[in-house]
Structure 1
Amino acid sequence: MQVNIILNGTKVTAEAAPDTLLIDFVRAHGCYSVKRGCETSNCGLCTVFLDDVPVLSCSVLAARADGHRVTTLEGLQEEAAEFGAFIADQGAEQCGFCNPGFIMNALALFREKEYPTEEEIKEYLAGNLCRCSGYEGQLRGIQNFLAWKKAKQEGAE
């Protein structure tokens, strides 16, 4: 079957088997930030935005994305780089494998809630698996990013 999507702002049309997962489709088109981790929809490593809503691409058929916008970390480089520096500063990207999914979900959180509480951050990011860090560095990175963003915003006013 033919699948037509807007992938990171570019129209992509390609043949795909009916059982092709979205993760395989986007990786076949060069989006290597989207990773396999658990194969059970539990780790968050394969998170993409489908029409600006975070979804686990290992649980979505490519055919379901037909006619929709799909955004991966490759399509959010500027937005992600600003936030990612705060995660790196806390040493929370030890091996880096979980970073793309973690950053995608954090960006989704920031879009939903401009200044989330610590509890909201923990709740929103509960589905992201990191085998290296214990999550404290990521939490500190998010909190530092939000404090910086707030100070920057207040300085501009």
Structure 2
Amino acid sequence: MSPPRAAIYTGSFDPITLGHLHIINRAAKLFDALIIGIGINEGKRPLFETSERVSLVQTVTTHLDNVRVEVFDGLAVDFVRQMDARIMVRGIRPLTDTAGEFTMMMANHQLDPGIETVFLMADERFTHVSSSLLKQIASMSDDDSQLAKFVPPQVIPALRNQMGRCD
């Protein structure tokens, strides 16, 4: 019996959004195993600590038996190899992500031609969602129903706490 077809979906997930979760739900149906790789980027100052991001992603993916969360430092292509996978999943938003994701895919192909990238187009409801938008909404609005349009409900208290607007 061959090993399960595993795919890797990497990102900072700072915080995880409904757009991320939509890609995760779709990818989990396409592959035997989906590993969410939470990247550590020393050049960025994240809103959430790595352990908090892991916890939030685990919390919102408990309904998916074939999903697990791992942390990695370094190149995503190296992480894919470490996980003994050959497929990278990337969510793209039309116009905003296409050029950057294509460039990343070509670089990854140069680093390891055996790793394939599968692009899943973001649902139109989430094409405008970004972490900077979330931070702006969280800092300027006390209305949780507004945040619930962009992040899973389990993320809202943590986001409020981090933004200093805890009720």
Q: What range is the shorter-chain TM-score in?
A: under 0.3
Q: Whose relative contact order is higher, 1 or 2, with alpha carbons under 8 Å and at least 6 apart?
A: 2
Larger fraction in strand? 2
TM-score by length of 1: 0.28
